[in-house]
Structure 1
Amino acid sequence: MAPRPLNEIVEAGWAKALEPVAGRITAMGEFLRAEIAAGRTYL
């Protein structure tokens, strides 16, 4: 699954506020998708 732009996931104001850390959010999503693919869960 390819990462989606923040403005497709959260309200426009939040997307703008989160722009400075968008790369970090993308990395967290990639990590969590890898965990699920490996059969692990998270809270």
Structure 2
Amino acid sequence: MIRCSTETMLGMSVDAPEVCKGLAGRLGQMMASLVERETRYGR
């Protein structure tokens, strides 16, 4: 499932189900917000 999400997030898997695409989108948003938070607070 993680591989499915990663493939969709990287745009490598075109045949992924809509649910997988949704999970990949959420995973990307969470990772981006974590990176932004770490950068902002210098951790």
Q: Normalising to structure 2: TM-score of the pair?
A: 0.53
Identity %: 7
Where structure 2 has 5 or more consecutive residues not aligned to the other structure, the ranges are 1-7
Structure with the higher fraction of residues in helix conformation: 2
Aligned-pair CA distance for 1:28: 0.3
Q: Number of paired residues?
A: 30
Q: Normalising to structure 1: TM-score of the pair?
A: 0.53
Aligned equivalents of 1:37, 1:26: Cα separation in 2: 16
Q: C-alpha root-mean-square deviation of aligned residues, in Å?
A: 2.2
Detail structure 1 runs of 4+ shifted over 3 Å in the superposition.
Answer: none
Where structure 1 has 5 or more consecutive residues not aligned to the other structure, the ranges are 1-5
